[in-house]
Amino acid sequence: MKRMAIVLAAGQGKRMKSKLYKVLHPVCGKPMVGHVLDTVQKVNCERSIVIVGHGAEAVQSYLGEAAEYVLQEQQLGTGHAVKMAKDLLGSEQGSTIVICGDTPLVTAETLEALTELHESKKAAATVLTAYTDNPKGYGRVIRSEDGSVQRIVEQKDCSPEEDAVCEFNTGTYCFDNAKLFAALEKVTNENVQQEYYLTDVIGILVNQGETVLGYMTEDYAESIGVNDRLALSEAERLMRERINLRHMLGGVTIIDPASTYIDADVKIGSDTVLYPGTVIKGNTVIGEDCQIGPQSDIKDSVIGEGVAIKHSVLDQAEVGNRTTVGPFAYLRPKTKLGENVRIGDFVEVKNARIDNDSKVSHLSYIGDANVGKNVNVGCGAITVNYDGYNKFMTEIEDDAFVGSNVNLIAPVTIGKGAYVVAGSTITHSVPENDLGIARQRQENKPGYAEKIRDRAKAKKDKK
């Protein structure tokens, strides 16, 4: 049976008090609507329609070709929003999931179970429900003796008996597509808000003698809709716990899950250890047997196997197998480290390739450079890549040695096996196996230090 999805993402989200459109607020590194769209696509929905309104261009820009779009110019209720998809889906046969774009915690497993129940029982509609001891504010799900859904009653309309019901409507549904759009034609806005409610479809189907079922999720968290910053933080906490659990069950050691933050799309190999204070973001991929942290921040990077990273920041960097980084290193975009490389304390690397077995151990800046194999870059050495107008490349070939406090004024090449003496400022290339030295010969002036002190003291006494 064909499956489709309608994602409701047209509301403004005034309670967020934000310039950012509500469904684009991230939860664990991904906008909420991105989580929802990924989830419906995991249950094999062939078509995904996103109903956009406020911030439509921003939502479409983010989701791109992953969905089809319908603009709801006036927000006249959830029923009206779903009806906007009629031109695209009205003639389709199959099952249609309707879900809100601000419910990032709904899982694919739950949607699959909801849809399978719906399809196996040939229901007209199936409501995703949840249970809580305090359902205040939620629409109650009232079931018949046979367990089918009889109606959904909003809090303000509940009788005392209905108010005592603890099963509530999450706002996620699965419908027979043809029956959904037929029922939507009968929904009116004769209510206080003068809006068209999707919940009215349930009552219409029941009155027509159709089968309406309820599927209760075991995890209350899946019911959370994010309408303000408090709910956003709660969704972030719950999803972070879920992500950490998934990685730990997959063989990753997380020393302190409460202080470890991993984004939704991060991949981590088994036997890797994450130490407290570690933040791993974006599309980062980390191999097996790594030691990450403490207090490391890694974004959109690819880390090989057996790598150690301590107290460091990585942004769009690649790190080869068995390489060590830190403490207190900064790998900026387009950094590519080979295998068995050593990047030490207070080293910054940007737009540079450092090949296997090379070392930049302390207090250096390597920017816009290609560094070969088995190269040693001494303490305080830097590539001077910017003249105030343009960036230039530095080439350091295999087996070269660059001494401490060397300035390499790009563009310049240090040849294979060449040796640059400490303290030099190199403005011309050093050929293979040559020694480069560029510093003034030392001159000692006997007793001159005392004269300097006397002169300084005399100036001070005149003041």
Residues in binding site: 8-11, 22, 72, 77-78, 102, 139, 154, 169, 227, 332, 350, 365, 376, 385-386, 404, 422, 439
Query: Please, what is the end-to-end C-alpha distance for the chain in angstroms?
Result: 94
Query: How far is 317 from 335, CA to CA, in rounded Å?
Result: 5
User: Among the options 80, 311, 362, 428, which is catalytic?
Assistant: 362
Q: What is the CA radius of gyration of the chain?
A: 31
Binding site per annotation, positions for acetyl-CoA: 385-386, 404, 422, 439
Residue 341: name the closest of 303, 294, 287, 386 by CA.
303
Run of H or E including 30: strand 30-31
CB neighbours of 117 closer than 8 A, spacing ≥ 6?
A: 123, 126, 213, 215
Binding site per annotation, positions for Mg(2+): 102, 227
Binding site per annotation, positions for UDP-N-acetyl-alpha-D-glucosamine: 8-11, 22, 72, 77-78, 139, 154, 169, 227, 332, 350, 365, 376
Query: How far is 7 from 62, CA to CA, in rounded Å?
Result: 15
Positions of E strands within 302-426:
302-303, 308-309, 313-315, 317-319, 324-325, 330-331, 335-337, 342-345, 348-354, 359-362, 365-371, 376-377, 382-384, 394-396, 401-402, 407-409, 412-414, 419-420, 425-426
Query: How far is 212 from 200, CA to CA, in rounded Å?
Result: 13
Query: How far is 119 from 95, CA to CA, in rounded Å?
Result: 8
3-state secondary structure of 415: coil
DSSP one-letter code for 288: S
Residue 193: name the closest of 80, 97, 269, 302 by CA.
80
CB of 222 closer than 8 Å to CB of 231: no
DSSP one-letter code for 398: T
Q: How far is CA 433 from CA 402, 414, 416, in A?
A: 12, 9, 6
For residue 80, indicate whether it is catalytic.
Answer: no
Residue 369: name the closest of 397, 400, 401, 404 by CA.
397
* Active site (catalytic) residues: 362
